Amino acid sequence: MKDLIKDIESRFKTSDYIQKLDHLAFITVEKEQAISLVTYLRDYRKYAGLTLLTAVDWLEDGVFQLTYLLNNPTDYTEIGVRVMIDRDNATMESSHHLWENMMTYQRELREMFGIDFPGSPRIEEDFILEGWDNMPPYRRDFDTKKYAEETYFPRPGRESNDPATYMKSKMYPND
Amino acid sequence: MEKDMNKHKFEDLDVDKFLAPENEKRSVLAPDGSIVEVDPLKDYFCQDRPEVQKPRSGPVENFLNWARAESLWVLGFGTGCGSIEIPPLTTPRFDMFRYGVQMRATPRQSNVFVISGYLSVKTLKRAIRAYEQMPSPKYIIALGSCTINGGMYYDSYNTINRLDAYMPVDVYIAGCMPRPEALLAGFAKLKELIKAGKAEKANEYAENFDWYKTNQKKIIKDWNMPDFNW
């Protein structure tokens, strides 16, 4: 994999190369070059399989990290292409033309994180949250407990007493 | 010009964008060549509210209750992780057939609905629809902690906390997950209730219909089906 990484670094603006395992490496690339790198890996370096596309919300840094995890079925290696995109204006180039199932990942990311992929087919349709009208729930500033308590009227819990104060009130009511 | 894939097809039109495609108004070609206008919300669904079924007099009702208790037909609709506890009941080890309990494929043929575990809002919508299509008398068994107070999904943004606010529950089976034996015990308890004439939750649903509908519509925000589904 070392040769591959050297080749990638000579062609694209990359940073933060991490070799996690012998067959698994991650590399971060500039947003403008991400789809070109993914296309290059697919068409010229035999990384033809899309394992997944996922996102991480780095709330403190104000970025979303997208990971395109690609699989090479000939030598069983995997490479993760990481892209940092701005959290306030979360838009990424669509790559549904490379893999058909990318469309579904992008639909899910749009619903759960609010990351838009303009041009991706059926991106506007609801994926799981039908009729959702709140903030995308996987964003870390979404308070899921507060939302559940307000929306789903939870059942009140059992009454319980602190043993010490309860016994005191029973045995010494005048104190 | 190429069609804009991103544009929702109802964006410009003055129609309900949540209306399901099969419920839209349309014209159908009849076999004799004439064109018939069909409005599925009016033509395909009943317009009446559910009615309370009053019990018959003494011994007749007792006999009917005995007959109902001895043939519980369960709708094969697994809603959560608890649905994996139902298949073992059909195997020789647990064998639910000896109690007159069997699985059925459609709501129209069944009278017991086992809500097996957590319900997301999306599934709740389908569950309500299936429940309302079941013929009365009908019963609901709620399986697992998730149906009682949310269980381990108590703070989830997409699963309901308590089932009895949306559907009437006859028997609860607590546990996470309850074993198949617990499910059998739940069926035995339901039989007891039916024979004693106490499993009247379907009538309660009909009596408090507005309350249930209000609760359901509060969380199902894209209500694209008719209010009455039978």
The pLDDT assigned to B172 comes to 94
The pLDDT assigned to B177 comes to 86
| Section A69-75 average pLDDT | 94
Rounded CA-CA distance A89/A53 in Å is 19
Of B125, B154, B221, the CB nearest to A133: B221
* ipTM, interface predicted TM-score of the complex: 0.79
- Name, in order, each residue with C-beta under 8 angstroms of B5's C-beta and a sequence gap of 6 or more: A119, A120, A121, A122, A123
The pLDDT assigned to A86 comes to 94
A166 vs B: CB within 8 A: no
B158 vs A: CB within 8 A: yes
Options 3.30.460.80, 3.90.1150.10, 3.40.50.740, 3.80.30.20; CATH for A2-155 is 3.30.460.80
Does the beta-carbon distance from A130 to B158 stay under 8 Å? no
Query: Is residue B17 very low, low, confident or very high in pLDDT (cuts 50, 70, 90)?
Result: low
Does the beta-carbon distance from A131 to B160 stay under 8 Å? no
Tens-place pLDDT, residues B163-208: 999 999 999 999 988 999 999 999 999 999 999 988 889 999 999 9
Helix/strand/coil (H/E/C) assignment for every residue in chain A? CHHHHHHHHHHCCEEEEEEEECCEEEEEECHHHHHHHHHHHHHHCCCCEEEEEEEEEECCCCEEEEEEEEEECCCCEEEEEEEEEECCCCECCCCCCCCCCHHHHHHHHHHHHCCECCCCCCCCCCCCCCCCCCCCCCCCCCCHHHHHHHHCCCCCCCCCCCHHHHHHHHHCCCC
**Tokens, residue A149:** 């308590």
A118 vs B: CB within 8 A: yes
**Is CATH 1.10.10.10 the right assignment for the domain spanning B73-219?**
no
B contacts of A128 (beta carbons < 8 Å): 120, 122, 158
- Name, in order, each residue with C-beta under 8 angstroms of B209's C-beta and a sequence gap of 6 or more: B49, B50
pTM here?
Answer: 0.82
Rounded CA-CA distance B16/A41 in Å is 45
Query: Is residue B1 very low, low, confident or very high in pLDDT (cuts 50, 70, 90)?
Result: very low
Q: Is the pLDDT of residue A63 over 80?
A: yes
Which of A128, A152, A155, A158 would best serve as a mutation to test chain B binding (most B beta carbons within 10 A)? A152
